Structure 1
Amino acid sequence: MDLIQGLAQYQDSSVRSSANDATDWTSYFLDPSNPLRPWAYRLLSLSNTARTYAFPLLTSITQKPDLATIALLLVIIFVSLKLLNMLVQSVMFWFRLAWKIAFWGVLAGLALWMWTRGPEGVAQDVGHWAGVWGNEYEYWREREGQARVARSWQQPVRKAQRRGGWGT
């Protein structure tokens, strides 16, 4: 039980420390016959380069909490703008998809209408609906003229009512 809790001293040679494990893995990856050797060297080189740039930056940020706060704020703003951009892109995707489905659906409906009615039937239907639209247009145009006449007749009455009487 002491071994599990970390209280016992390691006497057994079968239990190795993590430092020995790291050297074993390093010797395995850096072995000249290993096919992963170029990748391991590249990874080691990149980690060394990142360490030379990142550690001074992290040190200066941790020593000055104001910079850490500003950096955290900038990271939060950047992430929130990225999330907002993802949201906008997804909404635009669905809007474009709905628009394309509607467009191609109308086009397919028109093609089906042409297929079932034929060119003469389509011309007949269009003529009928143009007549219906023309009749409705004339009806509402006449109603609008009547409304203008009624409004022009009511204007002198309203002006007289505002003055306080009919003839004063």
Structure 2
Amino acid sequence: MEVLQELALQTISLYHFLTPYLTPLTSTLNSAYTHIYPIALPYVNRLLILAHDSPALVSVALLLLFLLLAMRILGAVQRLVVWCFRLILRTAFYGGVVVLGCVVWQRGVERTARDVGAWGKVLAEVWGREYERWEGYQKLQQQQQGQVGGGVGKGSSWR
């Protein structure tokens, strides 16, 4: 209960602080309301009569409003995810550049180049072994399909 009382006091003090700034805005809105009300009243009445005569139109309009709102929210979420993904990729890239610069600074250009060449050689060997292994699996699968399926077309797969 104390929290609500404190919140109410803060709200009242904020209102009294902002009153001089909000007075011109409220007077402008009030005069606009008094000028626009007589002009807009017949159109609003016609719209309400139309909505009363055909409630299906109101249902469709609400459905379209909810669909529009959902699309706006999903668009904002998509932009947020893309922004985070780009941030992560840029951070990883520039972090790698900084780490590479630190390694070169600490070990020297020649020793770093030798190490990178050795790592590339090991990576190429591992990739070659894995490529041969999976190529063997593919040949074995093709042989098994040839024996079981009785030919091309039966049980063939794009893998």
Question: Smaller-chain TM-score range?
Answer: 0.5 to 0.7
Q: Equivalents in 2 of 1:38, 1:117: separation in Å? A: 69
Distance 1:98 1:45, change over 3 A: same
Deviates more, 1:35-44 or 1:105-114: 35-44
Q: Displacement of 1:115 after TM fit?
A: 1.6
Q: Equivalents in 2 of 1:92, 1:141: separation in Å? A: 33
Q: CA RMSD in A?
A: 4.0
Find 2:42's aligned residue among 56, 60, 82: 56
Q: Displacement of 1:54 after TM fit?
A: 4.3
Find 1:105's aligned residue among 91, 95, 104: 95
Q: Is the 8 A contact 1:61 1:68 kept in 2?
A: no
Q: Gapped runs of 5+ residues in structure 2?
A: 1-20, 152-159
Q: Gapped runs of 5+ residues in structure 1?
A: 1-34, 164-168
Structure showing greater radius of gyration is 1
Deviations 1:74-96 (A, max 9, x none): 32222222222222222222212
Q: Displacement of 1:137 after TM fit?
A: 5.1
Percent identity for Structure 1 against Structure 2: 28
* DSSP 3-state at the match of 1:64: helix
Deviates more, 1:45-54 or 1:87-96: 45-54
TM-score (structure 2 length as normaliser): 0.55
Q: Equivalents in 2 of 1:141, 1:41: separation in Å? A: 77
Q: Equivalents in 2 of 1:40, 1:158: separation in Å? A: 86
Q: Which amino acid aligns with 1:158?
A: Q
Matched residue pairs, number?
124
Q: Give the helix-richer structure, 1 or 2.
A: 2
Q: Which amino acid aligns with 1:128?
A: A
Per the alignment, residue 18 of structure 1 pairs with none
The structure, 1 or 2, with the larger RCO (C-alpha pairs under 8 Å, 6+ apart) is 2
Q: Is the 8 A contact 1:113 1:122 kept in 2?
A: yes
Q: Displacement of 1:125 after TM fit?
A: 0.4
